[in-house]
Amino acid sequence: MTSLSSAPGRAPAGTRTGPARRGSARGPSGRQGAAGWLFVSPTLLVLGLFLVIPVVMAAWVSVSDWTGRGSPFASGVSYVGAKNYAALLTGGGLATKDFGTSLRNNAYYVLLVVPLQTALALFLAVIVNRRLLRGRGAFRTAYYFPSVTSSVAITVLWLFLFSTSGVVNGVLAWFGVHGPNWFADPDGVLHLVLGSLGVDTAPAGLADHGLLGISWWDWLAGPSVAMSAFILMAVFTTSGTFMLLFLAALQNVSGEVEEAAVMDGTSGWQRFRFVTLPMLRPTVFTVVTLGLIGTWQVFDQIYTGTQGGPAKTTLTPAYLSYNTAFNNQQWGQGAAIAFLLFAIIVVVTALQRLATRDRAVPRRRRFRLADGTLAADAAGPGVQEGGRR
């Protein structure tokens, strides 16, 4: 008679019947985990020394009366709370007016640069993605070359091109247009347009009220002529970088989808609008997000070119933070400007993400084909083969 412990198909008494343990096959062991932390420790150390600690120090400086001498954590440095922030937002003095001016200038810079550089980058990517285009590699290099060139060198070049006797004014003179002194003209573009229409004085409602020490009339001045030149330079230098992102996304678009749209009788614009562009939505979000962050942090072009002039019409928060801290020795306000700028970037990026998030389509969208018939949007979510949900 065979005992239970030796019966076929049964485990010996006192042994576990669960699945065999495989150790490292099911997850890292303690030794492997320690090795992983050892490998990433140099990166964590570098981030801690050059990122986390400076941010903590800057946060403390923004709420202290540090004068720039000695350590910010010395016993002589006092905590002043939100005094530096209040001087910028509600003080009503020169600090508030300068901060409001910098926000106005940078806001117009963002509103014009981000859409223009995104549209131009997408346009260039579509062009160089064409298979019938000869010398595509040369075009890609030419479009991308300004992005890898030093911003200081391009700014100096721009100062030469847009000078009073520069190439730009020379070209305008061929068409009978007297070009302005670009980097010395503080007039707002919208004010110039209104002045040409006979509106030379500000309405009382706009002149008597305002925000951050700037009247609403000045808020609506538009970018100055000098800032307009910087806007053109930003579009020229950044479109090549974003072109590569769009180009990579276009090359990942399935050719079968394009062929299906062609078989449905769509035109080239319809294929781009209803098929290609919806597939590029993640790339568009990335490009717009990077554009928002970069345009709110513009500094080196202003520092090299105009240093905030003329009449502070090219002053930006990033340059104001530097000028307040390093030149005026008001380190607390300079750090406070930096953190206010960080908050603005976070809020604007979150709003942009909210505006571009995917939304459920309640019903199938349709568009008119070249022959006049209606067809379902091929990129619309929820539309299945044969037009059924």
Q: What is the DSSP string of 127-191?
A: HHT-TT-TTHHHHHHHHHHHHHS-HHHHHHHHHHHTSTTSHHHHHHHHTT-----GGG---BHHH
DSSP letter (8 states) at residue 273: I
Token digits for 336? Answer: 């406070």
Give me the residues of the chain with pLDDT under 70, please. 1-28, 131-133, 135, 358-389
Beta-sheet pairing, 214-215 with 210-211? antiparallel
Round to whole Å and give the CA distance between 210 and 218.
8
Token digits for 149? Answer: 């060139």
Predicted local distance difference test score (pLDDT) of residue 359 = 62
- What would be the CATH architecture of the domain defined by 94-188+223-357? Orthogonal Bundle (1.10)
For 252-310, list the strands marked E by DSSP.
none
Taking CA atoms, 60 is separated from 50, 135, 319, in Å, by 16, 55, 21
**Sign of the CA dihedral with 119 first, then 125, 128, and 130 last:** negative
Predicted local distance difference test score (pLDDT) of residue 301 = 93
Query: Which has the closest alpha carbon to 349: 120, 105, 114, 51?
Result: 114
Predicted local distance difference test score (pLDDT) of residue 383 = 41
- pTM, 2 dp: 0.82
Predicted local distance difference test score (pLDDT) of residue 337 = 97
User: Over 196-216, what HEC string results?
Assistant: HCCCCCCCHHHHCCEECCEEH
Predicted local distance difference test score (pLDDT) of residue 36 = 86
Predicted local distance difference test score (pLDDT) of residue 388 = 43
Predicted local distance difference test score (pLDDT) of residue 6 = 47
**Partners of 375 in beta bridges:** 367
Residue that has been written with the tokens 């290609």 in this structure: 276
Reduce the DSSP state of residue 33 to 3 states and report it.
helix
- Give how far the C-alpha of residue 311 lies from the chain's centroid of Cα atoms, to the nearest Å: 27
Predicted local distance difference test score (pLDDT) of residue 343 = 96
Where are the chain's structural domains? 94-188+223-357
